[in-house]
Amino acid sequence: MPRLMLHLHSLLVQEQRRLVLWAPVGLALGAVLYFGLLRTEPSLLEGVVLPCGMAVLASIAAWHMRYSLWGRLLWGGCITVGLGFAAAWGGTHRHTPMPDLPRFATEISGIVQAISLLPPVDGTDAPFERRVDLAQAVFHNALNEGMPPLRRVLSVYLQPNDSVPLQVGDQLRVKALLQPPPFPALPGARDRQFEAWFANQAGSGRALGHVQLVTMGQTGHGHKLQLWFENLRERINTRIHTILPGSKGGVAATVLVGASETVEKQVREDFAASGLAHLLAVAGLHLGIVMGLVMAASRLLLAATEYTALRWSCKALAALCAWSVGLVYVLLTGAHLPAQRSLFMAAVAVLGIAAGRRVVSMRGLAMAACVLVLCMPQVVMGVAFQMSMAAVMALVAGYEVLQPKLTRWRASTTGFGHWLAWHGAVLALTSVLAGCATLPVAMAHFGVIQPFFVVANMVAVPLMAVWIMPLGLLAVGFMPLHMDAPFLWLMGAGIRPVIWLAHIVAHWPAARVAVPHMPGWGLLAVMLGLNWICLWRQHWRWVGCAGLVLGMASPWLLVQPDVVISPDGGLVGVRDSGKVYVIGQSRAQRPIMQAWGQYFAQPVEVFPPEGETPGGALTCGAEDTPDTCVALLRGQDVVVRRQDTSDGRELLPADICAGADVVISTAPLRASCPNVPIRLDRFSAWENGAEAVFVHQSKNVVRTDRAWRGQRPWVLKPGGHGMPVLPLAPSE
């Protein structure tokens, strides 16, 4: 043991300049500890005072032990983890509670914050559907009359034939049926309530009538600059779809104004299956292309004049000009998280150029990650932060190792053929590094593996860089002069082969391999292993491969539930013979079945009222029990009753209850089967959310969504109820 500790100490001494790169990892671990491991909400003392106090004491101890490497590691970890935990608590409690939305059709008034155009679901040539985000919404009904305006945003889908012209800042009134953010489809699945909490969303709804425009151009809400950008985005989006209808317009609007919701569903699926989904998310690639083009043009113009070339720092000025244009581009595309991260890293690069320091480095990435985690700690749980950080970290670490070899190879070759081969090799290497780093993250969040991403990216990325984005920028620049149509047509000509390529690659055999759900500890092992490989430089970095292998194998090490119940209790899924057979009905049947299929990586199909599975484990519609299904799983009898007209008042036969180990009903069970050990029905789903049953020969286990997520601020009460939005009491 002493020899091992001495060896580790010598390795850490060699890597001591890289220790600071682990600061964002500690901050992220503190946030993960708060968001992922706790089941009850800590108080102010537990969430802020104690972690900050620990960070202060750790800072004092680290100062006194500044000459001890082990002391600096220990106390540095305590500081970063404590600050990450406190930042997560503060970021959570900055948001207002979820409001209790009306369960009946009600009149709503509010101020338009954003307008989105959505393509038809069936892929026809029908007009686009509009979705408006309403701020300061007020409900006009007897219960909520006199209520204060909501401090969260409501998303309302307008009727397709509603042609009332709207723009950001207008105040409107519409009758709509609202619903809160949905519960997870099963315990451990995607949590849309968590996402809505930090996105300042209150819920969504669908308009039941046409919009009534109350007032136009309300500039008192929000900042005028924000309203101006939102209106500009809407006008550019409309102009793009006028010139480029269909899928080409959706892709063009995505890369120019961030309107990714306008992309057709089939095109989106093809891009995802071929590994080109990053082209539909404005991030580092798009910002890098925009800033690179602007910097090249600016530096050329500055160098063309003798006075500026001899007296000014053309490179620094060009970089500053490129960053300014990049800032406008980020605001124009909606300022999403990946774009914000890329913009901050670009700012660090510009400072490096101005100071004569190294531009692209792991320290710049670490600084950007620290700022993002401290300002928006919830990003550590999101796919955008994880994929962008993993890709950039892998690229920086990979080129740190391979750059000397690539430089020698380029210097030793001449001619156009060698130049083309060198650029092709660099492009393939970039795709391999970024794709392999983000592959486990895609497995965890999307449940898929795209093995042909290198082939698609080697063609699509150059087209995006040298054809699509330059012509798109020219189109936006000439749009005020009404001379944008030729550039948009040429841009569409470049988008067409990319869409075709995505469609061809997506339909190759095994282009999209489904994998089961990856547990949280598996994703954590992957990210820690990837950090270990990328942040160290010595040979011990390859120990991190163990974390990668363990995390990527975790979906097959996890025990999957045998029976799942939807959050509303209307659907029951039984796993048998490599499929998930769905029994019952629900208003949210399609998204729940999609979530189940992604979770289990198995086909999902609706089971008929009468019949049996090929293996005979599930049988429905017997003569004596027409509304009942019986599943024999691992020697245990699971009885599932469909919802019927009796609303559960008709009791199940005593012979079925006598031999059952688990009874599940899509209607209330009431007094049926009182002696069965596990009884689950619509009432239990209403109280506990989605439920999962693990069938074992010795003991059956039930896991509920409410027990999985605990009592946290973003978890709605049973039935999806939030904080009542009652009016203030009258003053005496």
Q: What digits encode the pLDDT tens for the residues 488-501? A: 999 999 999 999 99
| Cβ-proximal residues to 229 (8 Å cutoff; 6+ apart), any chain | 331, 332
Phi then psi dihedrals of residue 645, to 5 deg: -75, -15
**Does 528 fall in a domain?**
no
* pLDDT at residue 70, as a whole number: 83
Angle at 230 between CA 98 and CA 296, to 5 degrees: 125
**Does 392 fall in a domain?**
no
Specify the pairing of strand 513-514 against strand 571-576: unpaired
Element (H, E) at 90: helix 69-93
| Cβ-proximal residues to 590 (8 Å cutoff; 6+ apart), any chain | none
Q: Which residue has the higher pLDDT, 336 or 695?
A: 695
The residue among 199, 222, 245 that closes a domain is 222
**Does 348 fall in a domain?**
no
Question: Closest Cα to residue 86, out of 380, 385, 379, 374?
Answer: 374
Question: Closest Cα to residue 629, out of 568, 584, 687?
Answer: 584
Residue 678's domain comprises 563-709
The single residue listed with the structure tokens 């959505």 is 118
Provide the CATH number for the domain around residue 158.
2.40.50
The residue among 163, 187, 222 that closes a domain is 222
Strand partners, 156: 132, 205
* pLDDT at residue 218, as a whole number: 57
- C-alpha–C-alpha distance, residues 166 and 188, integer Å: 40
Q: Output the six-digit token pair for 630.
A: 């019986």
pLDDT grade, residue 259 (50/70/90)? confident
Q: Output the six-digit token pair for 129.
A: 């559907």
Specify the number of domains making up the chain. Answer: 3
First to last CA, the chain: 75
Judged against a pLDDT cut of 70, whether residue 168 lies above it is answered with yes
C-alpha neighbours within 13 Å on the C-beta side of residue 473: 19
DSSP class of residue 717? B
Let me know if 437 is exposed, middle or buried by CB neighbors in 10 A (0-12, 13-18, 19+). buried
- C-alpha–C-alpha distance, residues 451 and 66, integer Å: 48
Q: What is the mean pLDDT of residues 468-475?
A: 89
DSSP class of residue 99? B
Strand partners, 139: 108
Contact by Cβ (8 Å): 115, 233: no
**Does 475 fall in a domain?**
no
* pLDDT at residue 128, as a whole number: 75
Residues in the chain: 732
Judged against a pLDDT cut of 70, whether residue 648 lies above it is answered with no
Contact by Cβ (8 Å): 700, 661: yes
Residue 159, amino acid: Q
Q: What is the mean pLDDT of residues 650-671?
A: 84
Name the range with the highest mean pLDDT among 27-31, 324-328, 419-423, 540-544.
27-31
Judged against a pLDDT cut of 70, whether residue 359 lies above it is answered with no
Judged against a pLDDT cut of 90, whether residue 526 lies above it is answered with yes
Judged against a pLDDT cut of 60, whether residue 640 lies above it is answered with yes
Judged against a pLDDT cut of 70, whether residue 395 lies above it is answered with yes
* pLDDT at residue 222, as a whole number: 46
Judged against a pLDDT cut of 80, whether residue 338 lies above it is answered with no
- C-alpha–C-alpha distance, residues 527 and 547, integer Å: 8
569 and 701 part of one domain = yes
217 and 186 part of one domain = yes
577 and 604 part of one domain = yes
Mean pLDDT over the full length of the chain: 86
119 and 185 part of one domain = yes
124 and 90 part of one domain = no
* pLDDT at residue 145, as a whole number: 82
pLDDT grade, residue 455 (50/70/90)? confident
Element (H, E) at 54: helix 50-64
Q: Which residue has the higher pLDDT, 635 or 525?
A: 525
Q: Whole-prediction pTM value?
A: 0.88
81 and 150 part of one domain = no
Lowest mean pLDDT among 140-144, 360-364, 419-423, 447-451: 419-423
Judged against a pLDDT cut of 70, whether residue 124 lies above it is answered with no
Judged against a pLDDT cut of 90, whether residue 32 lies above it is answered with yes
Q: What is the mean pLDDT of residues 220-230?
A: 67
68 and 200 part of one domain = no
- C-alpha–C-alpha distance, residues 173 and 155, integer Å: 13
Angle at 133 between CA 132 and CA 135, to 5 degrees: 135
Q: Output the six-digit token pair for 218.
A: 């309300």
Specify the pairing of strand 563-565 against strand 571-576: antiparallel
Judged against a pLDDT cut of 60, whether residue 555 lies above it is answered with yes
Judged against a pLDDT cut of 90, whether residue 30 lies above it is answered with yes
- C-alpha–C-alpha distance, residues 686 and 720, integer Å: 9
* pLDDT at residue 101, as a whole number: 92
Q: What is the mean pLDDT of residues 395-421?
A: 79
pLDDT grade, residue 373 (50/70/90)? very high
Question: Closest Cα to residue 209, out of 102, 106, 113?
Answer: 106
125 and 41 part of one domain = no
- C-alpha–C-alpha distance, residues 671 and 146, integer Å: 43
**Does 384 fall in a domain?**
no
* pLDDT at residue 221, as a whole number: 46
Q: Residues 403-426, buried b or exposed e (16+ Cβ, 10 A)?
A: eeeeeeeeeeeeeeeeeeeeeeee
160 and 87 part of one domain = no
- C-alpha–C-alpha distance, residues 377 and 81, integer Å: 12
The residue among 64, 94, 124 that closes a domain is 94
217 and 82 part of one domain = no
Lowest mean pLDDT among 366-375, 459-468, 514-523, 645-654: 645-654
- The dihedral region occupied by 356, where left means phi > 0, alpha psi between -120 and 50, and beta the remainder, is left
Residue 685, amino acid: A
Contacts 24+ apart (CB under 8 A), 47-52: 47/85, 47/86, 47/89, 47/90, 47/93, 48/86, 48/89, 48/90, 51/81, 51/82, 51/83, 51/85, 51/86, 51/89, 52/82, 52/83, 52/86
662 and 632 part of one domain = yes
55 and 117 part of one domain = no
- C-alpha–C-alpha distance, residues 346 and 373, integer Å: 18
The single residue listed with the structure tokens 């449940």 is 447
**Does 427 fall in a domain?**
no
**Does 315 fall in a domain?**
no
**Does 80 fall in a domain?**
yes
C-alpha neighbours within 13 Å on the C-beta side of residue 551: 23
Q: What digits encode the pLDDT tens for the residues 603-639? A: 999 988 888 888 778 888 876 677 888 888 888 888 8
